[in-house]
Amino acid sequence: MHQAAITDRSPHSPPYQRHRPEQTLLYQIIERHYPEFRDVMAMQGKSLPFHVQQEFADYLKCGRLEHGFLRVQCSECHHEHLVAFSCKRRGFCPSCGARRMAESAALLVDEVLPEQPIRQWVLSFPFQLRFLFASRPELMGRVLGIVYRAISSHLIKKSGFTRKTAQTGAVTLIQRFGSALNLNVHFHMLFLDGVYTTTPWGKSRFHRTNAPAQPELMELVHTISHRIAGFLEREGILERDEENSYLNLEEGDEDPMQQVLGCSVSYRIAVGPQQGRKVFTLQTIPAWEEDDRFAQVAKVSGFSLHAGVAAQAWERQKLERLCRYISRPAVSEKRLSLTSSGNIRYKLKTPYNDGTTHVIFEPLDFIAKLAALVPKPRVNLTRFHGVFAPNSKHRVDVTPAKRGKGCARKKIEDKTPEQHHQAMTWAQRLKRVFNIDVSVCPKCGGKTKVIASIEDQAVIDRILGHLMKKGALPSPPELLPATRASPDTGWFA
């Protein structure tokens, strides 16, 4: 949900203003150029898949009062405000992505991850596999199982136990994007930094393991790459000869998104007269200092395994920040701007080793990059393994929520029905992330409640027309002006 403007300050929280997507540069770019991109694809005989078209259509309605809203009223002073509907899509909507980020991080920290040390393992893949997993996500799920078994077996063996006597667990968040808005399917796995064993009296006991050393990471990434290659070869996806290996993707030749996905994976332009060429980049002189963030990383044949970030048992705030980072939205509106020629400039979160700080897209190619980030329907991007899996008999013992197989409808500990009903509402998400309490009236401090859901277009138009006449709603904005890059920020390459 998105909230209408609140102008009066509450004594308990800072003032909150409705996010107005129509004023953002991202919204204006999509509104102006998406229809043209759709027409260009149609002229090439490539109709966009329904789920991609729906993503763009719903984004253009997200947070807009013109497409429906809730009426929220204070139960004491009867002050009202409007809450616009959100699209709840998973592709590139920054607002819904931020909501999902807050919800996912809170769920993991409050209900899933126990107060034990947690380590992040990040596995990246060669370009060909990124393309394969985006176009055939069912293979991605099976590969994830291979990766989990390799790392969990390593942890159990390192702890001095066997798979019959010890268990570990992980939560995987599958990210589909890179810093340059490129399609980059990779795994962020939050692993227990140790294993659980069961005592003779039926209690779970945790055994910590040491951080992985560089030789261990090298051995692991070798094992993972060989097992994945063997799996793909058995499935008939990977073909090998004496000198080379290549992917057999003949079944997907008719997929209209293949070209868009392939260009996004390989940093190339997908549409227009420059199609097939590398995207433009803005570079500065690269820094000489070594980056210690990648001290614990191993690379083999395009695979990269990193395990240098961990949170101790008592560092719950650090763990929640880590969870937010790996579940963050694909697009950052703060890093988006226009060049003086009307192209889109996107700033990298961290400069590349060659000094690249920005990527430059033509408008239609920018829309193509967003289209490539839309996941296929019914693909779960959060997976639970080991003791955290829903069917694990150990989940009820090790997770903070104490829910899982065999809990036999335990007293869902000491929470009233009202507390369970209110757990992680949209209002609570805002309060947790931004310290904003929208459930409290900004005028008198009373509690607010939803009194109506307005979805009929005639009623919507009548209410908004009345508010505009009163001056309570502003008129639609003009397109944001182009911004010129500073001459000392770099050069095109």
Average confidence (pLDDT) over 428-436: 56
Instruction: Look at residue 13 and tell me if it is in a domain.
Output: no
pLDDT of residue 18: 64
pLDDT at 253 over 60: no
The answer to whether the CB of 4 falls within 8 A of the CB of 16 is: no
Distance of CA 346 to the CA centre of its chain: 18
Instruction: Look at residue 468 and tell me if it is in a domain.
Output: no
Neighbours of 232 (CB within 10 A): 21
In this structure, what token pair is assigned to residue 106? 């809170």
pLDDT digits (tens, 9 = 90+) for 87-114: 889 999 998 898 899 889 999 999 999 9
Instruction: Look at residue 439 and tell me if it is in a domain.
Output: no
In our burial notation (b when 16+ CB lie closer than 10 A, e otherwise), range 247-268 reads eebeeeeeeebbbbbbbbbbbb
The answer to whether the CB of 22 falls within 8 A of the CB of 32 is: no
pLDDT at 185 over 80: yes
Instruction: Look at residue 48 and tell me if it is in a domain.
Output: no
pLDDT at 252 over 50: no
The answer to whether the CB of 270 falls within 8 A of the CB of 480 is: no
Instruction: Look at residue 229 and tell me if it is in a domain.
Output: yes
Question: 0.75 cut: is pTM over it?
Answer: yes
Total domains in the chain come to 1
Its domain, for residue 183, covers: 94-288+295-398
pLDDT of residue 236: 87
Give CA separation, 157 vs 209, 212, 231, in Å: 10, 13, 23
pLDDT digits (tens, 9 = 90+) for 336-353: 999 999 999 999 988 888
Task: Identify each DSSP E strand in 125-215 by its residue range.
Answer: 169-177, 183-192, 194-198, 204-208
Q: Round to whole Å and give the CA distance between 450 and 458.
A: 20
Give CA separation, 1 vs 18, 95, 299, 379, 430, in Å: 10, 9, 42, 23, 11
pLDDT of residue 410: 45
Tokens 């947070």 sit on residue? 63
Instruction: Look at residue 481 and tell me if it is in a domain.
Output: no
Question: Which of 213, 151, 146, 141 is CA-nearest to residue 378?
Answer: 141
Q: Round to whole Å and give the CA distance between 467 and 302.
A: 57
Instruction: Look at residue 173 and tell me if it is in a domain.
Output: yes
pLDDT of residue 476: 55
Instruction: Look at residue 4 and tell me if it is in a domain.
Output: no
Tokens 């329907």 sit on residue? 377
Assign 56 a pLDDT band (cuts: 50, 70, 90).
very high
Beta-carbon contacts of 154 under 8 Å, excluding residues fewer than 6 positions away, are 212, 216, 220
Residues linked to residue 198 through DSSP beta bridges, in sequence order: 204
Q: Round to whole Å and give the CA distance between 454 and 65.
A: 10
Residue 227: half-sphere exposure toward Cβ, Cα within 13 Å = 16
Question: Which of 359, 351, 358 is CA-nearest to residue 287?
Answer: 351
pLDDT of residue 426: 57
The answer to whether the CB of 148 falls within 8 A of the CB of 271 is: no
The answer to whether the CB of 172 falls within 8 A of the CB of 382 is: yes
pLDDT of residue 241: 63
Strand, helix or coil at 128?
helix
pLDDT of residue 463: 84
Instruction: Provide the residue type at 135 as one letter.
Output: S
pLDDT digits (tens, 9 = 90+) for 388-416: 999 898 899 999 988 877 665 444 445 55
Strand, helix or coil at 414?
coil
Residue 407: half-sphere exposure toward Cβ, Cα within 13 Å = 19
pLDDT of residue 430: 56
